[in-house]
Amino acid sequence: MHSIAIIGGGITGLTAAYRLRQMNLPVTVYEASARLGGVIQSVEKDGYLAEFGPNTVLETSPKIVALIRDLGLEGRRLYSNPAAGNRYLVRGKRLVNLPGSPVAFFSTPLFSWSAKLRLLAEPFIRRSDPEIEESLADFVLRRIGREFLDYAINPFVAGVYAGDPARLSVKQAFPKLHALEQKYGSLIKGQILGARERRRRAEVSKQNAPKFSFEHGLQELIDGLGRHLEGALQMQSRVTRLQRRGSDWHVTVDGRDRAIPHCGVLLAAPAYRLAELTLEGADDLSLAPLGEIQYPPVASVVLGFRREDVAHPLDGFGMLIPAVEGFRILGTIFSSSLFPHRAPSGHVTLTSYVGGTRSPELAGRGGAELAALVTEDLRVLLGVRGQPTFFHHVYYPRAIPQYEVGYGRFKQLMSSLEHQAPGLFFAGHYRDGISLGDSMASGNDVAERIGAFLVKPGATSGGTAGDPSPPLHP
């Protein structure tokens, strides 16, 4: 049997490759760059640890637990500090703890009494027509009102997608939210009754799921997968063409004369990279439309400070900032509050995000300018004094796929290709949800689909979008 070609050595492709190898199926991972992991990368310097991309994994599914166990990483796993349980939103340029109970909700200054009373009417609002695709903003305005859109949903979406709720599709970007309304007629009733169903499936909601990383950051996860895939990795191998010949797929790598035969192909690279591939032998269907998927730019800015130079106790996961508050950062993770070994003794590490659809022009600014504008916002919000003792900056020109209104046409294209071109599979953050946990689950699930296809040729199944969790507040 020819090996299964996996295009893309990010977390989805690596997870799928590992699971396929466990099934005794041969794999070849083609990665265009010189390293594995995509945006997942950790850097340690001067006693600080900075993450390039995600900071945590949410333990939402037994599949994630099983992967960590099978990789032998259980003993390396670090759960987040229980003392850092607060989640902050900003209102009136001050941090307000997000209420975690009904009693706390009715006493919080985060929302006005009129907004709180408006929420009591939510169970009595009629569900929408399932055939009508609403934006998340329209959905929230209809069900719970403007104040919740501005001070809860807008900052939450900035943390999840670095996106705009007026453009995101509630059905595509937050399918579980859409399903709650359709099934129960109410978000409140759905939250209560849906919890029973999650328990039956041994799943945990993202709001309540444990968060974990590793002593040396999420790079340990990538390194663990890489060790198990030795001999199957083709680095600096940018695939340019896929051609179906009979039951096989032939893969052409840039700069190589010979096309390599495979029994199947998994497309696990970002959508804009897949759009560049030439696809032949699939009834004239093309990957080019995937290039229309929007990926706004985002900059990650990690700053270190002396503990005495930050007035706020940093007793939480971090803070999210509504657009109406007028700050330039989208939000900040209190990295050294979450896990040990993120800052030297007597210091703290703060990871902030800039750009997205809210202010894309800011993301591409130089490191010194970004450090200055982030520090200025942190002075107002956290009482920061003095200058940073550590700085790390990463710029992503195309960071996170936006599941905007009309996104279903992209999923339909993927499903059509999978059915019309047997042996071709799609998985990853552009299809199955954008969080790290979603991508790990996507890799696991597509491996099962590929295994079933190889046992019973012609069998295919499409993926479904997960409910994403924010990089700032899972």
| Distant-in-sequence, close-in-space partners of 189: CB < 8 Å, separation ≥ 6 | 123
Query: How many Å apart are CA 152 and CA 155, to the nearest integer?
Result: 6
Tokens of 453: 């296809």
- The mean pLDDT value for 113-134 works out to 91
Q: Which domains does the chain have, with CATH numbers?
A: 4-40+220-291+403-455 (3.50.50.60), 44-52+56-83+294-396 (3.90.660.20), 111-200 (1.10.3110.10)
- What element of type H or E holds 427? none
- What element of type H or E holds 211? strand 211-214
pLDDT tens digits for range 217-237: 999 999 999 999 999 999 999
Query: How many Å apart are CA 247 and CA 456, to the nearest integer?
Result: 13
Query: How many Å apart are CA 427 and CA 293, to the nearest integer?
Result: 15
Tokens of 47: 């006693």
Query: Does 474 score more than 80 pLDDT?
Result: no
Query: Does 134 score more than 80 pLDDT?
Result: yes
Q: pLDDT at position 114, please? A: 94
Which residues partner with 48 through β-bridges? 45
Query: Does 472 score more than 90 pLDDT?
Result: no
Contact at 8 Å (CB) between 329 and 363? no
Q: pLDDT at position 192, please? A: 73
pLDDT tens digits for range 157-203: 999 999 999 999 999 999 988 888 888 888 887 777 766 676 666 66
Query: Does 469 score more than 50 pLDDT?
Result: no
For the chain, the average pLDDT equals: 92
Q: pLDDT at position 131, please? A: 87
pLDDT tens digits for range 37-48: 999 999 999 999
Query: How many Å apart are CA 215 and CA 311, to the nearest integer?
Result: 27
Q: pLDDT at position 103, please? A: 84
Contact at 8 Å (CB) between 466 and 433? yes
> Where do runs of H (alpha helix) occur along 320-464?
335-338, 360-363, 367-382, 408-420, 436-455
Cα separation values, 84 from 18, 211, 242, 460, Å = 33, 11, 48, 44
Tokens of 65: 């637990």
- End-to-end alpha-carbon separation of the chain, Å? 41
The closest of 398, 186, 412 to 293, measured between CA atoms, is 398
The closest of 294, 286, 291, 295 to 413, measured between CA atoms, is 286
Find where tokens 């012609």 sit. Answer: 458
> Where do runs of H (alpha helix) occur along 108-186?
113-120, 136-143, 146-148, 154-160, 170-173, 175-184
Strands (E), 288-328: 298-306, 316-320
| Distant-in-sequence, close-in-space partners of 25: CB < 8 Å, separation ≥ 6 | 1, 4, 450, 451, 454
Q: What percent of the chain has pLDDT over 90?
A: 79
Query: How many Å apart are CA 9 and CA 27, to the nearest integer?
Result: 12
Q: What percent of the chain has pLDDT over 70?
A: 93
Q: pLDDT at position 202, please? A: 60
Cα separation values, 315 from 97, 282, 472, Å = 10, 54, 15
Query: Does 259 score more than 90 pLDDT?
Result: yes
The lowest-confidence range among 103-107, 189-193, 195-199, 357-361 is 195-199
Q: pLDDT at position 465, please? A: 38
Q: pLDDT at position 278, please? A: 93
Q: pLDDT at position 459, please? A: 46
Q: pLDDT at position 78, please? A: 96
Q: pLDDT at position 204, please? A: 63
In one-letter notation, the amino acid at residue 362 is L
Beta pairing, strands 4-7 & 27-30 = parallel
Find where tokens 């936006």 sit. Answer: 402
